[in-house]
Structure 1
Amino acid sequence: MPSLSLIFLGDLNLPPWSPYYSRFVRRTKLHNTRLGFGIEPSWIEAATHVHYPRWVTALVKLSIDHIFVSSDIQVVDCTTSQAANSDHRMLWSDLAL
């Protein structure tokens, strides 16, 4: 039976040091596309609809948005970029199937 190529992504609200994150990776055997490309925090950014103090958005940076892929998918690049008026940065991965 052929294996399935899987891509799983989203705002999981889990940093990589969370035990729930570790359990997810262990059980699914999926690979985080960030690995090898730096930390790339995706949250928290200043936005007009959220009212965090400026020092919070300057100091608190977490990787809570993730893209996971199965082992048959090659990750070419992974980066974040500013999203239009969002308190999250866009997480972008270039993949080769």
Structure 2
Amino acid sequence: MDKIAKDVGDIQSRLLHHRPIINAEIRYFVREFEEKRGHRESRLLENLSKMVVEANEQMLPTNLEGTNQDMMSNIIKRCKSSLSDSHFALQLCFENYVISGIT
């Protein structure tokens, strides 16, 4: 009778206690996942980091403030030139109007 109770207890623990089986399956899944992926993500992130550093070095000037100052001074010069040209054209139009109005 004790042997039957022990066997029933063993069968019950095997049927109802799945922790060892689940732990083994989890370890197997993690091992397979890591082997198949082969640390692809870390290599991808390293490559992206290198690309960003290269892009920053190539595309961004080292002194943005100086560049902005140069651009602004160039824009101001062009605006002043356009203003003087338009003032000259306006003077010519006014003189032509006055001359044509007098005669």
In the superposition, the TM-score normalised over structure 1's length comes to 0.15
Structure with the greater alpha carbon radius of gyration: 2
Structure with greater proportional helix content: 2
In the superposition, the TM-score normalised over structure 2's length comes to 0.15
